Amino acid sequence: MTSLPSAPPARKLGLVIDLDTCVGCHACAVNCKEWNTGGHSAPLTDTDAYGMNPSGVWFNRIHSFEAGDGPAGRTVNFPRSCLHCDEADCVTVCPTGASYKRTEDGIVLVNPDTCIGCKLCSWACPYGAREYDEDEGVMKKCTLCVDRIENQNLPEEDRVPACVSTCPAHARHFGDLADPASAVSKLVAERGGFDLMPELGYRPVNKYLPPRPRAVLPAAPAAEAQEPGLPGFLGWVDRILSR
């Protein structure tokens, strides 16, 4: 059924992505590809993988933006994947019922056995989060790793999306955004988490945390030469190493 759940889902599982700490290493995207090419929507087909024009399905892509100019300007790494929107038009436009939003936790999924590959859902997603698999003729998208987060065969600490488990900078957090007491909701409240393109009204579940204001550094001490040197043996090592 491609009508949205009539009552808001009791839980809203989603991601909180910290644009302050993301280092743009693409590790989450790589681990996503690795896990999901064997997961719920497998495979994540690549075409011409070793040729001149490789192209393939990814659920998660890392962009880098420049914001502001001059001394105020900064570079922001920007991971982008499905935001599991509350008002997901990608679901309601689907003519077959292949796209659906789960009533229990709000996760948006595609059933690869009933999708006809009309691509309309990808047009309806403002965020470019759906990627068509030319080879299989069906639409693919982030599953929030439904096959990990509830997987009783995995150790408790691994029951998070692959991207979250791999991020070396702890820039990705997973949890229930419908529960104001959850760690992710608190993080959003503390750091002023925001929605992408709120004006389109899709009400994404995933939130982004803004880069922290740049720290104002105290002026560098002018008299560095006057610093007292280290005494004795340490002083000698320091002098040798600083040459």
Partner 1 sequence: MHPSTSVIFFTVASGAGYGLLAALALLAVIGLIVPGGGLPLLGLLLALGLITAGLLSSTLHLGHPERAWRAFSQWRSSWLSREGVASVATYLPAVLLAALFVRADVPRGLVVAVAVLAFAGAVATVVCTAMIYRSLKPIGAWHNRHTVPGYLIIGAATGFAVAYALFAGTGSSAAWVAGIGAIVALSAGFLQKRAYWRFLDTEDGPASPESATGLGGIGRVRLLDPPHTGPNFVMREMGYAVARRHAEALRRIVLVAGFVVPAWAIALGLGLAGGLAVGLGTVAAVSALLGAVVERWLFFAEARHTAMLYYGATRS
Nearer to ligand SF4 by Cβ, of 134 and 158: the residue is 134
Tell which positions 61-90 bind partner 1, by CB under 8 A: 61-69, 72-76, 78, 80, 89
Q: Whose Cβ is closer to ligand SF4: residue 85's or residue 149's?
A: 85
Is position 13 an interface residue for partner 1 (rule: CB under 8 A)? no
**84, two tokens:** 């599991």
Least spacing, CB of residue 162 vs partner 1, in Å: 17
Residues 6 or more apart from 25 whose CB is under 8 A from it? 168, 169
Task: Return residues touching ligand SF4 (CB under 6 A).
Answer: 82-85, 88, 90, 93-94, 96, 98-99, 108, 110, 115-121, 125, 127, 129-130, 139, 141, 202
95 counts as binding partner 1 under rule CB under 8 A: yes
Question: Which CB atom, from 120 or from 154, has the smaller least distance to ligand SF4?
Answer: 120
Query: What does the H/E/C string look like for the chain?
Result: CCCCCCCCCCCCEEEEEECCCCCCCCHHHHHHHHHHCCCCCCCCCEECCCCCCCEECCCEEEEEEEECCHHHCEEEEEEEECCCCCCCHHHHCCCCCCEEECCCCCCEEECCCCCCCCCHHHHHCCCCCCEEECCCCEEECCCCCHHHHCCCCCCHHHCCCHHHHHCCCCCEEEEECCCCCCHHHHHHHHHCCECCCHHHCCCCCCEEECCCCCCCCCCCCCCHHHCCCCCHHHHHHHHHHCC
Q: Is 42 in the site for partner 1 (CB under 8 A)?
A: no
Beta bridge partners of 81: 60
Q: Which of residues 179-198 bind partner 1 (CB under 8 A)?
A: 194-198
Instruction: For residue 10, state whether it binds partner 1 (rule: CB under 8 A).
Output: no
Q: What are residue 104's DSSP bridge partners?
A: none
Site for partner 1 in 108-167 (CB under 8 A): 114-120, 122-128, 130-132, 134, 136-138
Question: In angstroms, what is the minimal distance from the CB of 97 to ligand SF4?
Answer: 8
Given the complex with ligand SF4, which of 37 and 122 has the nearer CB atom? 122
Give the shortest CB-14-to-ligand SF4 separation in angstroms: 10
* 203 binding partner 1? (CB under 8 A): no
Residue 58 touches which of partner 1, ligand SF4, none (CB < 5 to 8 A by kind)? partner 1
**Among residues 199, 220, 226, 241, which is the contact residue for partner 1, using CB under 8 A?**
199
